[in-house]
Homo-oligomer: A and B are copies of this chain.
Amino acid sequence: MIAVEQHLARILETVRPVRSFDLGVLDAQGCVLAADVQAKVQLPGFTNSAMDGYAVHAADVAGASEESPVVLPVVNDIAAGNTNALSLVMGQTMRIMTGAPMPRGADAVVPVEQTDGGVVHVSVHGSPEPGQHVRAAGEDVREGQTILRSGTLLGPGQIALLAAAGVARVRVVPRPRVVVLSTGDELVEPGREPGFGQIVDSNSVMLTAAVRSVGATPYRVGGVPDDARQLMETIESQLVRADVIITTGGVSMGAFDTVKQVLSRVGTMQFDKVAMRPGMPQGFGVLGEERVPVFTLPGNPVSALVSFHVFVAPALRAMAGRPENAWPPGYVPAVAAESWQSVPGKMEFTRVVFDGDRVRLAGGQGSHMLGALAAADALAVVPPEVTEVAEGDRVDCLPLLGAEAP
């Protein structure tokens, strides 16, 4: 029996970020940059007005006030999108809109609120400093400047900066492609009615959703019968499109545990008992020339989802190039609202429901109990040496429902 931390460490030592490639900036949302990015153009691209108002020579309106306004002739209107290079001579003004290019010579803007809004002549009672209400070309970003570093997670703000700085495509760590298959003669495809002795293949559906929830790209193969040859052929045919393969079922102590029988002989696959509940039987290794990581999770649905959160999700984050300890933090602290027993010598993952920052049990804790799993907000993580959680104890929780995507 090995500890949870040992099994996870072996996994994280094995996996590598997926090979980087170029994506259009909008398609790269949620990905991590694989290279520093430089601005193709400066920002702002040209000196422009920060306000709707009047472009002036600041010296012309120095000392202007409500009591002694300065009147200037308005010789032009400059809208945003005006592509003419204009010049402003001393003693005159031009009406200018936010984002419109400043005329050569002008060094300040009087906001429209500090004028009478005139269109032929304007009476100005504000006296801006030189440079005031003006955005200088390049003050935000210089051309050629590194604007985002390798390792940056791309959200809306980063994508906007890339687009504005003239960057159309970026080199990123792509979303890992994850093949999901479940094993067992008892499985029927969702939508078909199970007969006596049969169950709906809900595991591959659940894990497909789980893969998607951490920002990776799932391919659901679905159920494969307990047949050694068919299982091996399926896995081999999927290796070409997979960055990761996840299987469920067939890894326990049974006489027909095909996954364990077939995969024990290939690649670096290793099958262990991990000191956790649920989720004890775990297999992991790499297969094929491309050394594709393969996770063989147990077949009980609660065991499979717990194993996903504890082992697969951290691996997928690492493969997506997410920095360790990045947002979101893994554990959410909470306080036990009731007491419960925990098995000695195993890390226990108890299904709990949040009530503010307090947690209570989510009902039936059997590893086959999907009803209670679906009612749970999080897994409370009880360390192996703890055999009882008392009301009021602090417990670390792994949220089962994420928040929002980058």
Contact = CB atoms under 8 A, between A and B. Distances in A.
Contacts of A141: 370-371
B404 A157 contact: no
A160 B46 contact: no
Interface stretch (A8-16, A205-213, A287-295): A205-213
A185 B207 CA distance: 48
Interface residues of A, number: 110
A193 B143 CA distance: 13
Q: Is the interface of A mostly helix, strand, loop or mixed?
A: loop
Contact of A197 (B100, B112, B208): B100
B406 A83 contact: no
B205 A83 contact: no
B97 A255 contact: yes
A358 interface: no
Given A112-B253, A370-B140, A402-B404, A207 B161 contact: no
Interface string A196-226: 1111111101111110111100001000011
B140 A205 contact: no
Given A184-B99, A255-B52, A368-B135, A327 B81 contact: no
B41 A194 contact: yes
Contacts of A166: 193-194, 200
A156 to B, nearest CB: 4
Given A163-B205, A254-B98, A328-B404, A79 B371 contact: no
Nearest to A302: B157
Interface in A176-206: 184-187, 190-191, 193-203, 205-206
Given A81-B186, A168-B190, A140 B364 contact: yes
A334 interface: no
Contacts of A168: 190-191
Interface stretch (A229-237, A341-349, A373-381): A373-381
Contact of A406 (B203, B213, B301): B213
A390 interface: no
For A77, A140, A155, A207, which residue has the most chain B Cβ atoms within 10 angstroms? A155
Contact of A215 (B165, B225, B354, B405): B405
B405 A299 contact: no
A150 interface: no
A160 B400 CA distance: 13
A57 to B, nearest CB: 21
A61 B195 CA distance: 31
B368 A140 contact: yes
A340 interface: no
Interface string A251-272: 0111111000000000000000
A401 B32 CA distance: 13
A29 interface: yes
B82 A197 contact: yes
Contacts of A214: 404
Contact of A209 (B155, B196, B206, B210): B155
Contact of A81 (B101, B184, B205): B184
Contact of A193 (B41, B77, B97): B41
Interface in A61-114: 77, 79-85, 95, 97-101, 111-113
A148 interface: yes
13 contacts: A26-B208, A26-B209, A44-B199, A44-B368, A45-B198, A80-B185, A98-B254, A112-B253, A159-B205, A160-B374, A163-B190, A163-B206, A165-B370
